[in-house]
Each structure stands twice: as structure tokens, then as C-alpha cells.
Amino acid sequence: MEKHIQDLHFRFRMYGKNAREWTRKCALLLPEIVRERVWEKKGFDSVYMYARVLAGMGNNAVNDALRILHSIENMPALQKVVEAKGLNAVRPVVAIATSETELFWAGKAMEMSKHTLELYVKEQHDSRTGTENTIEFPEQKAITKKIIALDVDPEVASELEKLKGKDGDWNTLMKELLEMREKMLAQEKPEEKVTESRHIPAAIERYVIERARGTCELRTCTKKYAILHHIQRFALEKTHDPSRIIALCKPHERMVHLGLIEDEHIQPRDWSIAKEPNKNDPKYAIDQMVQKYRKPI
Ligand SMILES: [Zn+2]
């Protein structure tokens, strides 16, 4: 019985995988089908009908394929990615890739999931343009500040306003609160634990999650953390050091393991995303091994 279930599941999965592969091949032919008006010559009312009848593709799928393939029509490397991984894999880069950069983006699209690639594109962009608003004060030079709205209870609001005082400013108050939090965390920090076991001791795990408040610790990322990451790589130095364990969301953990962080030993809030991995770093070899044993997320 168990074997029968396994067999059914195995076959369904394999056929599904093949079906997707053949649909991708069909999609890649569409631009030329349209250009040569093959659908008309073969007696169909429209390319949509042609694609629906012959390949089971819906109208949206046809439009989507034509739009994406049009934007990469002179980019053979990205077209190869579409053939291997589908249209979604290149979607995050179609608006930014050019004939000069398509090889770079094709490489990234092959090794990253769509989700990770989206974040990588966004961060490359943010690091070039900066995301803070610049407010001009007439009597001072430009000061970079960011305005945020707080969604708090009325009691919390009045307490904060009181703490700030009539002549105080929010920046000083908030900085003070953050510094207090940091001091408190420093006092609570558990000892580093040298061990053969990969399992992070509960007290260290609790501490890291509390420090991160359950959020990814990389730069301005506000995603929920998914993985506790050893920046020294556990395989290279068998220790659980709370200062060197970082809470990361899935896409950022992937980027770390692709070697795309400039310097992991500074605070993760200051990490920047690199264009290419540093292949001489011993961590790179470890990370390459990790890649082999996992599927893209
Ligand atoms: Zn993140």
C-alpha cells in the first residue's frame, strides 16, 4: 500500500515537472509564433486560442510570456534562464537588465530563488540611491531624517510625549531608549559555548531572538527571522557565540550563503550586499557545500 502511494506520488511529480518544462519551451516560441502569424496560417482566430488549444496556456500566461520575452529579446543568457527555470525566475530583473549586464543577472537568476533575487535587486538599488528623505532646514545644512508614524495606545503616546518634554526632540529620546535596550541586552548576554554539537543552546537562542525582536537583523530588513546564522560558520569554528549568531530572514540567509555580504564581521545592520562573492574566503567553500544539499527556497 505504502509503495503504491509512493509510486503514484512519484509519477505525478515527475509528469508535472516535465509538463512545466514543455510549457516553458512553448512560451519561448510565442514571440516568433506572433511575428510569423503562425496561428493565423494554421486557421486559429488568435494567438490566444492557438496557445490554449495546443498548449493549455491561458490568456494571462500568453500575455505575461510575450511581455517578459519582449523585454529580454536581445538577451540570450536570460532567455536560457527562462528555459531552465521559467519566466518567474527572470521577472525581478527584466526592467533593469541590459545587454551589457544580462550575463551578471542571468548568473544571479540561476542561483537565487525569485524571492531572493527580488530582494537582491532592491538592495542593489537602495545602496545606490539611498532611501532616506532629505529635509532642508533653512538655517542649517541639509540633515537626513526619516519620518515614521507610530501606531501606539494613547497612554503610551502621552508617556512618550511627556518623556520628550516641550523642548526636547524625538531623536534624543528614542536614541536614549535604544541605548538602554542595548545595555540591558549586554547584561543578559549568555556565555559563548564551545561544543561539537550544532544545536544552539536554548539560552543563546532566546537571547539572539530577543536582541533581534524576532526580526531579520540585516540592515533595514523588517521581515520575520527564519534562521539563526553563525557568521564564522559552525563547521570552521565549533562554537555558539551569541555575538556571532545572527537572526536572518530566508532570502538574506541565502544571500549570505551565496557569499554576497561584503563583511560579515561588522554589525548586520551595517552589512552591504556585494556584487560577486569573495571566492578566497574559506567560508565560501563551506557555503558552496551547503548549497549542494539544499533546494532553492
Ligand atoms: Zn532579511
With respect to residue 117, please indicate whether it lies within any of the assigned structural domains. yes
Cα–ligand 1 centroid distance for 253 (angstroms)? 8
35 and 59 in a single domain? The answer is yes
Lowest mean pLDDT among 8-22, 233-247, 258-272: 258-272
Lowest mean pLDDT among 15-24, 68-77, 91-100, 263-272: 263-272
Give the largest CA-CA distance in the chain. 81
With respect to residue 246, please indicate whether it lies within any of the assigned structural domains. yes
| DSSP character at residue 267 | -
178 and 197 in a single domain? The answer is no
Q: Tens digits of per-residue pLDDT, 139-176?
A: 444 557 788 889 999 999 999 999 999 998 999 999 99
Cα–ligand 1 centroid distance for 64 (angstroms)? 29
194 and 270 in a single domain? The answer is yes
Question: What is the extent of the structural domain holding 267?
Answer: 190-292
Q: What pTM did the predictor assign? A: 0.63
159 and 253 in a single domain? The answer is no
202 and 176 in a single domain? The answer is no
Q: Tens digits of per-residue pLDDT, 52-101?
A: 999 999 999 999 999 999 999 899 999 999 988 989 999 999 988 998 89
75 and 124 in a single domain? The answer is yes
With respect to residue 141, please indicate whether it lies within any of the assigned structural domains. no
Concatenated DSSP letters of 30-80? HHHHHHTTHHHHTT-S-HHHHHHHHH---HHHHHHHHHHHHHTTT-HHHHH
Which residues have a Cβ under 8 Å from the Cβ of 177 and sit 6 or more positions away?
none
Predicted pLDDT of residue 50: 96
Cα–ligand 1 centroid distance for 115 (angstroms)? 11
The tally of domains found in the chain comes to 3
23 and 107 in a single domain? The answer is yes
45 and 113 in a single domain? The answer is yes
14 and 87 in a single domain? The answer is yes
199 and 258 in a single domain? The answer is yes
Cα–ligand 1 centroid distance for 230 (angstroms)? 15
Cα–ligand 1 centroid distance for 90 (angstroms)? 21
115 and 23 in a single domain? The answer is yes
Q: Tens digits of per-residue pLDDT, 200-236?
A: 999 999 999 999 999 999 877 889 999 999 988 888 8
118 and 170 in a single domain? The answer is no
Cα–ligand 1 centroid distance for 250 (angstroms)? 7
Q: Amino acid identity, residue 220?
A: T
Cα–ligand 1 centroid distance for 260 (angstroms)? 13
Cα–ligand 1 centroid distance for 60 (angstroms)? 31
Q: Tens digits of per-residue pLDDT, 102-136?
A: 999 999 999 898 889 998 888 877 766 654 444 44
Burial class of residue 284, CB neighbours in 10 A (0-12, 13-18, 19+): middle
Predicted pLDDT of residue 297: 44
